A = this chain, B = another copy of it.
Amino acid sequence: MDGIRTLMGSGLGVALTKDGNPLALHFIMFMPSIMGQGTVEQQGEWMGRAWSGEIIGTYAQTELGHGTFLRGLETTATYDPSTEEFVLHSPTITSTKWWPGGLGKTANYAVVMAQLYTRGRCHGPHPFIVQLRDEETHQSLPGVTLGEIGPRLGMNTNDNGFLCFSHHRIPRTHLLMKHSQVLQDGTYVRPANDKLAYGTMVFVRVAICFDTYRQLQRAVTIATRYSAIRRQSELVPGQPEPQILEYQTQQYKILPLIATVFGIHFAAQSVWQTYNDVTGSIHDGNLDLLPELHTLSCGLKALSSSDAANGVETCRLSCGGHGYLASSNLPRIYTTTTAAITYEGENTVMWLQVARYLIKSFREARQGHRLHHSVSYLTPRPASTHALQTNLSNAALVEAFRVAVSHLVGEVAARLQGQCDSGMVFEHAWNACSVQLARCAQVHIRYFTCEEFLSGVEKAEVSEATRGVLMRLCRLYLVFHIIGNQGDFLRSGALTPSDMTTLEEELATLLAALRPDAVSLVDSFDIHDRILDSTLGCWDGNVYERMFEEAKKSPLNQKDVPDAYYKYLRPLMKASL
C-alpha cells in the first residue's frame, strides 16, 4: 500500500485515476477524521488497519436534502444503554447520505455524521465509525442500503455513493470521542471547546487550494504551449500567420492565469504556514488565531476554486474549438476543477463566512479593539493617511486595495446598521445586504492574495532575474484585478479615473513584456506529458499529429460504414420520404 499512498498523495494520482479516485476520501477524509477526532485508543484500533488498506473508508456527511448546513442533518444515532449501542437510522428520503466518494462500491467503512441522541436529548451532529460491508464478502450489511448515485459532469471514475440506515446498530465505542463522549450509562460529556473541529476544516480547505492550483497549472501549460504553436489570421496583411500568443487578446486570457497560479500558491502557502505554526498552541487551548485562520481558509478555498475553474475554462476557450476535444484534456480538467466550487463548503456560503468576520472585525475596531493581521487595515485611521496615492507603486496599489475594501465594508456595515435601526431583525437585514457582503469578502481575499503574492516574491530565494519575472507577474496580477474591480477603487477615492487609464496602459505594456517569458514560465511548472495528458499541450508541440492519432482510436473509426447506417440511416435515406 505504500506505493499507492505515494502515488495518490502526489500529482501523479491524476495520471492514474484520470477522472476521480475512489480511494481519495480514504486518505484525505477518513483517516484524518480518525486522527483528528478519535481518542488515542480509537486511533490505535483503526489507523493500522486503515493504513494497510485492510479496511477502506470514506466520509459520509452530506445528505440528499442537506449540504452546507450541518445542523440540518437528519440521520440519527440514538444511544441504547441496554446494549451499549448506537442505533443509526435514516428517517426520510432526504436523510439519505449522498455524494461521498468511494461510498457506492469501494468503501467498507465510513465515518458517518449523525445527530446524536442520548437520554432523549439531541446533542447535534457527531462522527461515528460505521462498518458498511462485510470484510470477507464485501456484501452490504443488513440494515445498510448502499449504491452509486449515477453519472456526473465529471469525476466519473469515482463511485460517489448513497447510504441509508434502517435501525443499524454499532458499538458505543464507535463514536469518535476525542472531543465529546457518551458514557456507558448514556451521559453526554460535551467538548471542552466546540471550535476545536475547525482545525480539520482549515486543513481540508487549504488542501483544496493546492489541488485547484495544480489543475490551473496544467490548463495554463496546455493553453500557453498551444498558443505558441497555433498560427492564425494576419497581424499585418500579407505577412505569414502569427502564433496566436502574439495577439494581445490571447495574452490577456493566458498571462494573468500564469500569475494566478503564483498568487494562489503564495497565499495558500502563507495560510498553511500559519496553520502549522499555531496547531501546537491550538492543542494547548489557545484558540485566538482560529477565527482568522478559519476565515482565510474559507475565503481562499472560494477564491482559488472559482479562479481556477474560471481560469481553466478560459484556457479551454483560448484554444478555440480544439479545446472542446476530450483529447486536449481541458474538458476533464474543467469538470474536475469546477467540482471544488460546490464541495467542502459551497463558495457563496464561504464568502458569507468571510463577510461575517469582516463585519465583526469592523465593529470591534470601532469599539477600540485591536484586530488580527489580515483585517488590521479595517482599524480607523486619520483621514490624512487615506489621502489619494501620489504614485502607483506596488505598495501604493496594495494600500489602495486597503482603502477600497475598508470603504466597501464601511458602506455595507452602515447599510446593515440602518436596516436594523429601522426595525429589521438582524438576520433579515444580513440577508438583504448579502450580495454586497459577499462582494466585500471577495475583494478582501483578493487583497490578501495580492499582499501575500507581493511579499512572497520579495522573500523568495531565487535569482534576481527570476525575481524580476515574478515581480512582473505579481504586478500584472495587481493591475489586472484593480482594473477588474475598478468601481470599488473609484468610489472609495482610492484611485482616480486618470490612475485607471494609466494602469490600463501599463497592463498593455506588461502583457507585451511577459509574452516572451510565457512558455518558459509554464515549462518551469515541469509537468510531465503523462500528467498533462493533452494533445494540445505536449512538450514537443506536435499538436496536429497527436490530435490525428488520438482521433483514429475512436471506437467509431474502427469501421468505415458503421452498423448504425444499416439500422437507422439507410432505411431513412432510401424511404423516399
Contact B550 A99 (CB under 8 A): no
> In the complex, A230 Cα to B67 Cα: how many Å?
11
The chain B residue with its CB closest to the CB of A140 is B560
With beta carbons under 8 angstroms apart, the residue of B72, B435, B483 that contacts A507 is B435
CB within 8 A of A348: which of B67, B137, B249?
B249
Closest B residue to A247 using CB positions: B431
- Supposing A53-B573, A249-B348, A427-B237 touch, asked if A149 and B325 sit within 8 A by C-beta, the answer is yes
List chain B residues, Cβ under 8 A from A237: 427
Most buried by B among A252, A339, A557: A557
Contact A65 B544 (CB under 8 A): yes
Q: Contact between B434 and A248 (Cβ–Cβ < 8 Å)?
A: yes
Q: Would A320 and B339 be within 8 Å (CB), given that A150-B551, A572-B1 are in contact?
A: no
- Please state the number of chain copies in the assembly: 2
A103 to chain B, nearest CB (A): 11
Which A residues between 465 and 513 are near B, CB-CB below 8 angstroms? 483, 486-487, 490-491, 497, 500-501, 504-505, 507-508, 511-512
Kindly specify which of A113-121, A290-298, A562-570 makes contact with the partner chain: A562-570
* Cβ of A456 under 8 Å from chain B: no
Q: A96-B548, A508-B435 are in contact. Are A152 and B331 (CB under 8 A)?
A: yes
With CB as the reference atom, state the residue of chain B lying closest to A561.
B138
Q: Which of B139, B341, B574 contacts A317 (CB 8 A)?
A: B341
Contact B99 A321 (CB under 8 A): yes
Q: In the complex, are the beta carbons of B64 and A548 less than 8 A apart? A: yes
Q: Digitize A23-65: 1 where CB-to-B-CB distance is under 8 Å, 0 elsewhere.
A: 0000000000000000000000000000011111000001011
A248 contacts across to B, CB distance below 8 A: 431-435
Contacts of A438 in B (CB 8 A): 249
Interface residue A327 (Cβ < 8 Å from any Cβ of B): yes
- Kindly state the separation between the CA atoms of A406 and B423 in the bound complex, as whole angstroms: 44
Nearest CB in chain B: distance from A432 CB, A: 6
Residues 290-346 of A at the B interface (beta carbon under 8 Å) = 313, 316-317, 320-321, 323-327, 331, 334-335, 338-339, 341-343, 346
A367 interface hit (Cβ, 8 Å): no
Q: Out of B150, B324, B348, which one reaches A152, CB within 8 Å?
A: B324
Contact A561 B137, beta carbon cutoff 8 Å: yes
Contact A577 B544 (CB under 8 A): no
Q: Which residue of chain B has its CB nearest to the CB of A153?
A: B331
Partner of A572, one of B53, B317, B326: B53
The answer, yes or no, to whether A106 is at the interface (CB within 8 Å) is yes
Given the contacts A67-B320, A573-B56, A561 and B151 also touching, CB distance less than 8 Å = no
Interface assignment of A68: CB less than 8 Å from any CB of chain B: yes
> Are B236 and A326 interface neighbours, CB within 8 A?
no
A94–B150 CB distance below 8 A: no
* Bound-state Cα–Cα, A554 to B159, Å: 11
- Complex A-B: 14 CB contacts under 8 Å: A53-B577, A56-B569, A64-B548, A93-B544, A93-B545, A137-B561, A138-B561, A139-B560, A148-B554, A151-B554, A152-B326, A162-B548, A249-B435, A321-B343
